[in-house]
Structure 1
């Protein structure tokens, strides 16, 4: 089925503020993560859990706002669900997830990246500049793979990788949101 470009662009463009807010949440998380001492990975765990839930909620909100049959909303919903689930795991098993935070973040990042790439590919006929969303999804996948492959010998390495990724992701999502804003103006 074909997507009616005018409807979809209007709906996504109306949500540009939420997209920008989602990117800003990632940047706030990154700033908080850089302020956490390297030896305090257990302090970062609930902060990341809150970030994952907030990011998931915002993605679900966007999916809800653009929903309509035959519209590319389901992949945004999957991004949201994966974030909320990861955050709930953090809060449900706080002691166990501190040790497994890098693996949990890697798994979440891989899932979110794949779903985000799918969402961007489904939007490519509706909006120019979707490459920002594809790039942020690709970076999420790359980041997830790095978190699995690189030895997490120190907490500092994990914290800096997670915070660095959040900065890049946040900047790309803000840029995509601002691009959406220009569609409705």
Structure 2
């Protein structure tokens, strides 16, 4: 399995102790995130704001690839978003939650419409999870 080979390479390169420490830190972070979800969420929003600000500034130093005006536009967007996220993390978190809710709503509507459209196609009389539909019941015997 590729995962096993990669795990062996990592263990040989850094030692099993590093993996144990990473695991313990991950467990502690998970417990902290579940114990204080609001603080964790706000902290992540602020960290993303710092990342966006730094990434936006660094985007101005990149040369080649995309046109300069597009890099500047992206950099300005990232810097402004980073500043806004750091200035008001509560509103930013609320905005992210609303955005994710909207995406889930649109995805759900799209899936329902797609399912109904596929159902109407000839030969699409599959049951749940691709199982064939139940055979029709035999005709009733006259009494």
Short-chain TM bin: 0.3 to 0.5
Bigger fraction of residues in helix: 1
Highest relative contact order (Cα 8 Å, sep 6+), 1 or 2? 1
Q: TM-score, structure 1 length as denominator?
A: 0.32
